[in-house]
Amino acid sequence: MNNEQIVVKMALDAWNSHLSRTEKLFSELSDLQLQQEISPGKNSGIYLLGHLVAVHDAMLPLLGLGEKLYPSLYNIYVENPANAGLEEPLTEYLRKYWKEVHARLATAFEGMSTENWFGPHKSVSEEDFKLQPHRNKLNLVINRTNHLAYHLGQLVILNK
Amino acid sequence: MNNEQIVVKMALDAWNSHLSRTEKLFSELSDLQLQQEISPGKNSGIYLLGHLVAVHDAMLPLLGLGEKLYPSLYNIYVENPANAGLEEPLTEYLRKYWKEVHARLATAFEGMSTENWFGPHKSVSEEDFKLQPHRNKLNLVINRTNHLAYHLGQLVILNK
C-alpha cells in the first residue's frame, strides 16, 4: 500500500469503529431510554439518533454516491432543534433508517478508488478545490467521524 | 501540495479546531462548574480536564517528541477512575498544565516533516509496522482527535 491508500484505510477504520460502537449502544438502549434527555434541557437520545441518521444520509450526495434515502429527516433533525415541534418518525423507523443508510454508505465506500477519495466533495466548486485541495471526500469522512464521536460521548450517558 | 501533505494538513486542522473549541469551553467554565459531574455518577469536568491533559501529554513520547511534562497525571486520570481517591492537583494547576502541554505539542508539530508523520509511532515495533503501516504518527493524531471530540461532547453539557 502507498501512503494515500494507507490514509484511506485509517480514515475508514476510524469511521467504522465509531459506527460500530454507536450501533452497539443504540441496540442496548430501549426506546424508553432513548426518550430521555442527555441532560435536562439538552437533546434526547431519539433526537440524536435522528440527527446522526440525517447527517450521514446527507453524506451520500456530498460524496457523489446518489440521493439521500430519507431527505425529510434533514429538516427535522438538522435544520431544526428538538423543541421545534415537528412531527417525527416512530423510533422503530429511525432504527431501521439507521441500518439502511449505513448499509448504503458501506456498499458505496467499498467501490470507491483512492483517487476518488482525494477528489472534491460536492459542496466545493472545482475552482475552490484547486486552492483548497484538503476539501476532499476523505476529509468529509474524517470530519463526520469526529462529529459522530462527539455525539457518542453524549449518548453513552443514557446507558445506565 | 501533494496528497500526503494535504492529509497531514487535514488531520492537524481537525486536531487544532477541536482543541480550540475545548479550550474556549474550559475558559468559559468556572472551577465550580468543572466540579459538577457530566451526569449523576459520571465523570466530573475536572476529571475530564485532567484526563485530556494526561492523554495529550502522553502523545509527546508516543510521537517521539520527548518525555511527558507531567507524568504523574497519567496514573491519576488514565490508569485510575475518578473515584479512586487519589490526590489531585488544584484545578488552577490543571488549567496551566493544559496550556503547557498543548504549547509543547504545537511547537513540536510545526517541526515535523510529512515523512515523519507517516512513520511508526513509539508503541509499534518496526517489524509490526511493516505489516501494519497505518499505525503511524498521523493516525495517532486522528484517533486522539476523535477521543477529544467524544469528551468535548460531554463537557458542553456543563455549560448552562
Across the interface, whether the CB atoms of B39 and A153 are under 8 A apart is answered no
pLDDT at A153: 98
Q: Give tens-digit pLDDT for A79-88.
A: 999 888 899 9
pLDDT at B160: 79
For B134, name the nearest residue in chain A, comparing CA atoms only: A6
- Number of domains into which chain A is organized: 1
In single-letter form, the type of residue at position A160 comes to: K
β-partners of residue B44 are: B37
pTM for the complete prediction?
0.97
Residue with cell 509543547: B104
Q: Which residues of B touch A142 (CB under 8 A)?
A: 10-11, 14, 142
ipTM of this complex prediction, to 2 decimal places: 0.96
Query: In which domain, by residue range, is A23 found?
Result: 3-158
Residues 6+ apart with CB under 8 A from A1: A9, B133
Across the interface, whether the CB atoms of A4 and B6 are under 8 A apart is answered no
Across the interface, whether the CB atoms of B10 and A139 are under 8 A apart is answered yes
Measure B87 CA to nearest chain A CA, in Å: 26
What are φ and ψ of residue A147, in 5° steps? -60, -40
pLDDT at B10: 97
Q: What is the CATH number of the domain that holds A33?
A: 1.20.120.450
pLDDT at B2: 94
pLDDT at B83: 85
Q: Give tens-digit pLDDT for A124-141.
A: 999 999 999 999 999 999
pLDDT at B98: 98
Across the interface, whether the CB atoms of A160 and B41 are under 8 A apart is answered yes
Nearest by Cα to B26 from B146, B109, B148: B148
* Ranges of chain B with pLDDT below 70: none
* Ranges of chain A with pLDDT below 70: none
Q: Which residues of B touch A39 (CB under 8 A)?
A: 38-39, 157
DSSP secondary structure, B8-55, as one string: HHHHHHHHHHHHHHHHHHHHHS-HHHHHSBSSTTS-BHHHHHHHHHHH
